[in-house]
């Protein structure tokens, strides 16, 4: 592993061909930790086999980009301590993406149940690493994006959000709105009222009053 590490850094010219083993040995583990991987993630082929290792090529390019970015930032700011590292973007995952984008892709291809299962899995594995945003806003905003076209899926995501954030008045209000898209005003009113029970002064009060007036006019 030590020789493979040396070839990676010497090959991209970041540490230099004569870089001390101590420098290489301290840098490589920090990169692996930043991506949440082991050395085999990049060094995937048998040494000397001649087999391509595409992830090693990507690693070289990313390391070059990081070095150039740091040089530019330090020149612009005059702050020589300004430093972007792998962990700045990766936070313990090999491919950094926003969790909302990950869930949206799953939602489109596999449905709400699969997206909910994926959220639970990611939360269990990465919650303490700051790799993804697990605040109530993530599922809330994702649900709001699909409420008009897929209200049932939106409701499923919002119920998942309430499971982890039981005092989320906004999630209850959003479920109420989703039910209006299903023309189920009675259930919508129940969720609006629950939202107000948690947060009496939130803006959903106006929506609730408007909905009740609309229902009254229909009954009259």
pLDDT band at 34 (very low <50, low <70, confident <90, very high): low
Phi then psi for residue 201, to 5 deg, are: -100, 15
CA-closest candidate to residue 95, choices 55, 134, 60, 67: 55
Q: Give residue 10's pLDDT.
A: 42
Q: Enumerate the domain spans of the chain.
A: 2-90, 99-219
Tokens for 5, please give them: 């590490």
> Which of 69, 52, 1, 66 shows the shortest CA–CA distance to 29?
1
Residue ranges with strand state E in 98-208? none
Q: For residue 100, what pLDDT is reported?
A: 94
The pair of structure tokens assigned to 20 is: 């001390």
pLDDT more than 70, % of the chain: 83
pLDDT at residue 25 in the model: 54
Are 8 and 27 in contact by the 8 Å Cβ rule? The answer is: no
What is the pLDDT at residue 4? Answer: 40
pLDDT (tens digit per residue) in 202-220: 999 999 999 999 888 888 7
Is 154 a residue whose pLDDT tops 90?
yes
Q: What percent of the chain has pLDDT over 90?
A: 48
Compute, in degrees rounded to 10, the torsion defined by CA atoms 57, 58, 64, 70: -160
**What pLDDT digit, counting tens, does each position of 58-86 carry?**
777 877 887 888 888 888 888 877 677 77
Cβ-proximal residues to 11 (8 Å cutoff; 6+ apart), any chain: 60
Please provide the average confidence, as pLDDT, over all residues in the chain: 83
Do 198 and 169 touch, CB atoms closer than 8 A? Answer: yes
Superfamily of domain 99-219 in CATH is Tetratricopeptide repeat domain (1.25.40.10)
The residue behind tokens 């947060």 is 199
Handedness of CA 10, 11, 12, 13 (dihedral sign): positive
pLDDT at position 44: 75
Whether the per-residue pLDDT at 22 is higher than 60: the answer is: no
Question: In this predicted model, what pLDDT tens digit does every residue of 113-135 receive, in sequence order?
Answer: 999 999 999 999 988 777 889 99
Tokens representing residue 63 in the block: 């390391």
Q: Render pLDDT for 76-117 as a digit per residue (tens, 0 to 9).
A: 888 877 677 776 677 677 777 899 999 999 999 999 999 999
Which of 13-22, 66-75, 141-150, 173-182 shows the lowest per-residue confidence on average (mean pLDDT)? 13-22
What's this model's pTM, rounded to 2 decimal places? Answer: 0.71
Q: 174 near 143, Cβ under 8 Å?
A: yes
């Amino acid at each position: 592993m030590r020789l493979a590490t040396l070839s990676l850094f010497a090959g991209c010219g970041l540490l230099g061909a004569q870089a001390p083993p101590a420098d290489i040995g301290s840098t490589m583990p920090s990169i692996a930790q930043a991506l949440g991987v082991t050395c085999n993630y990049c060094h995937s082929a048998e040494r000397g086999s001649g087999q391509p290792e595409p992830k090693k090529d990507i690693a070289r390019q990313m390391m070059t980009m990081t070095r150039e970015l740091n040089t530019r930032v330090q020149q612009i700011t005059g702050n020589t301590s300004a430093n972007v590292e792998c962990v700045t973007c990766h936070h313990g995952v090999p491919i950094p993406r926003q969790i909302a984008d990950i869930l949206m892709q799953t939602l489109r291809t596999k449905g709400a149940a699969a997206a909910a299962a994926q959220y639970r899995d990611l939360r269990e594995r990465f919650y303490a690493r700051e790799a993804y945003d697990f605040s109530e806003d993530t599922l809330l905003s994702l649900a709001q994006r699909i409420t008009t076209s897929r209200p049932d899926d939106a409701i499923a995501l919002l119920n998942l959000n309430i499971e982890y954030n039981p005092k989320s008045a906004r999630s209850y209000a959003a479920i109420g709105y989703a039910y209006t898209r299903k023309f189920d005003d009675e259930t919508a009113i129940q969720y609006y009222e629950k939202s107000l029970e948690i947060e009496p002064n939130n803006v959903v009060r106006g929506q609730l009053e408007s909905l009740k007036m609309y229902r009254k006019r229909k009954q009259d």
